[in-house]
Amino acid sequence: MFENFVTEDINVGDATVHVRHGGEGTPVLLVHGHPRTGSTWHRVAPALVERGFRVVVPDLRGYGSSRGPAPTEDHEPASKRAMAGDLLRLMDALGHDTFSLAGHDRGSYAALRLTLDHPERVDRVALLDCLPIVEHLERIDATFATEWWHWFFFAQPHTPERVITADPDAWYHGDPQRMGQENYDEWRAATRDPAVVRGMLEDYRAGLTIDRRHEEEDRAAGRKVTPPLLVLWSLRDDLERLYGDPLAIWRDWATDVRGHGIDSGHHMAEEAPDDLTDALAGFFGPRSATA
């Protein structure tokens, strides 16, 4: 995977970020979701390099090989604001003052927070399989609670760690053929690490507490995504089925929004890499590199 990419661990303050980066041109930051690592982008990142982009692919703090401070009762170390700070300092370390940004699943919340807090740093942002956390929580019904029950199970103290680490292979399901063998191997090793399992659960605990409060504060202040926003969603997942047109919801959160569905299951970077690459490359470029 990631041939001709540099792989390194970069200290960004109170966290160490494991990152792969390569290519030349407009910088693009790709942020993975749960329960993946940055390797989920292994089919998309090289294709974007071929399209003339410089691509940066980190593991979020607590995921994969990135590490942050120990969890706290208020879950602040796992907040999307903390994750966004990691990403911002990572791009500083790599010499990129402004950049394009794409986040999937839980990574989309880190990307959203980075864009809301630091819009001057983000040229364009793509959010994949994402609605703001408060939009989900304010639409809870029996269908959501049944299908997205893991949000609330993961938020419980201690029990999820015991359940998952007792048999991670039974809990997490992956297909090496569909994912790619090296991506699968990296993902499987991460999900068998108790520290990673705890980090991923803290991400969800922060989501229902401190992250929700931050989004409520954004909305009360009238704060919106001001860089151009591309919203993509998996047509064989449930976002559109649950809520109808996601763009109708995002128009309350962004000043310039467009998007469409991708014919894929949830992990679109693995299942529909060509369509996703086309969508991202068309939205992000070509433009001159910014450093």
CATH number for 177: 3.40.50.1820
pLDDT score, position 288: 41
155: pLDDT strictly greater than 60: yes
pLDDT score, position 287: 52
Mean pLDDT of the chain: 96
Catalytic residue among 118, 266, 275, 278: 266
pLDDT, one tens digit per residue, over 96-110 is: 999 999 999 999 999
Specify if 235 maps to a domain: yes
Specify if 224 maps to a domain: yes
Residue 240: C-alpha distances to residues 69, 150, 234, 246 (Å)? 36, 19, 8, 6
Specify if 201 maps to a domain: yes
Specify if 141 maps to a domain: yes
Residues 6+ apart with CB under 8 A from 162: none
49 vs 30: CA distance, rounded Å: 12
pLDDT score, position 109: 98
291 vs 288: CA distance, rounded Å: 10
pLDDT score, position 291: 35
Q: Report which of residues 59 and 291 the model is more confident about.
A: 59
Catalytic residue among 105, 129, 211, 237: 105
Specify if 289 maps to a domain: no
Active site residue 104: no
Active site residue 266: yes
Identify residue 67 by its one-letter amino acid code.
R
Whether the predicted model's global pTM rises above the 0.85 cut: yes
Q: What is the mean pLDDT of residues 50-77?
A: 97
Sign of the CA dihedral 244, 246, 250, 256? negative
Structural domain boundaries, residue 165: 6-284
pLDDT, one tens digit per residue, over 183-203 is: 999 999 999 999 999 999 999
Specify if 81 maps to a domain: yes
286: pLDDT strictly greater than 80: no
32: pLDDT strictly greater than 60: yes
Specify if 291 maps to a domain: no
Specify if 1 maps to a domain: no
232 vs 230: CA distance, rounded Å: 7
How many independent structural domains does the chain possess?
A: 1
Identify residue 273 by its one-letter amino acid code.
P
